Amino acid sequence: MHKLEVVGAKKLKGQIRISGSKNSSLPILAATLLSSKKIILKNLPKVKDIDTMVDLLCSLGSKINYTRNKLLINNSRQNKKFASYSLVKTMRAGILVLGPLLAKFGSAKVSLPGGCAIGTRPIDIHLKALSKLGVKYKILQGYVYATAPNGLIGNRIRFPKISVGATENLIIASCFAKGKTILSNCAIEPEIDDLVKFLNKMGCKINWLTKRSLQIIGVKNLKDITYSVMFDRIEAGTYLIAAAVTEGHLKLKNVDPNIIKTEINILKKIGSKIRIYKNEVHIYGKAKIKKKNIRTSPYPGFPTDLQAQIMVLLCKANKKSIIKESIFENRFMHVAELNRMGAKISINGNKAYIQGNTNFTAAELMATDLRASVSLILAALCAKGKSVINRIYHLDRGYEDIEKKLKRVGAKIRRLN
């Protein structure tokens, strides 16, 4: 099993090109199932979750030519509608094939999804919303059996709470529904807007009515397209924090600063100096780090996917900070490992109390999920001595070439077998 060795206490300096978005690529890949035309996708990140989704599409009959960061899809003979547990178990986004399969074939059998153990993340919101489009479903032995006896029929649907996955699934499914569908209380993450742009370019008819509601007019015909996926805002946020925590200076390329305004503003308040350009962000980390109370929330709030990373930075702040995790109920598993490195963090319910003034010391560590993995790297980068991080297969699900990118900006990091 692979592990990472990190020798810390080095300031990161240089430039990093941010990869395409994993969280945007996955729903877009699922949405390609709607089409029987040629689709070319560019700027895909080379990460394990993308490989898994490609394998899932191939198992459903898609013909895919996959070169690094570019993918050619031909679905002219795609006719299968069974997504097996063996392919869905490692990745939450596997459930996103349910919507397009129902739209295309009127029935599907899809395994309940897996992914990181950061919370229950039930799919009942997906299923109840799909039922309002005419879907009947049952769950047996870990699989969703779903049918739309009369095809999908447009309807007004209000999500009971904001859900990124349910919003994506319903947008995709509604593209082939008869008539008009209006979705309200939608998630508005940039990755959802990227999905909408992709679908519209392919020939769908989707438009935003208000900030959290959109209208979809069902279509029957789609067209050949080439589409480039947006940048990965979580990767960008991770490297911004890496510069801040090591008192480094990094130039991030291939980013849209407007999309990460919240993260930039919080880092400025914590003490970093940040300059914004058209497609770049330059950050200068400072020795003095200020305390900050943070609450994770749906976009445009502070993302839960950066909670573990920002916690490392707040460990070095001058006073006590509090992080309230409002998205997932089990996303503090990295805390025990950070405390082993010298942090003083206590948990009470969904709040983490961070004492600050931490001087991290090297340790042998165990990654528990994707974002926790990278938080341990950040702590190791500013710790004295050599740290070893085990179970990094989580990391490979979401970060492209992380060791190479960090090495290029001065980190002492290597992968061990």
Show which residues are catalytic: 116
Is the Cβ–Cβ distance between 294 and 254 less than 8 Å?
Answer: no
Q: Where are the beta strands (DSSP E) in 229-341?
A: 249-253, 273-276, 280-284, 294-295, 321-324
Task: Give the chain's count of helices (H) and strands (E).
Answer: 14, 24
SS3 248: coil
**Rounded CA separation 191/180 (Å):** 23
How far CA 342 is from CA of 46, 218, 352, in Å, comes to 34, 56, 16
Provide the token pair at 387: 């740290």
**Rounded CA separation 134/174 (Å):** 11
**What residues are paired with 226 via a beta bridge?**
40
Residue with the two structure tokens 């029935």:
107
Is the Cβ–Cβ distance between 354 and 326 less than 8 Å?
Answer: no
Is the Cβ–Cβ distance between 338 and 349 less than 8 Å?
Answer: no
In 3D space, the residue among 23, 17, 65, 61 whose CA is nearest the CA of residue 41 turns out to be: 65
Q: How many residues make up the chain in this entry?
A: 417
Is the Cβ–Cβ distance between 183 and 162 less than 8 Å?
Answer: no
Is the Cβ–Cβ distance between 151 and 106 less than 8 Å?
Answer: yes
Write phi, then psi, for 55 (nearest 5 degrees). -60, -40
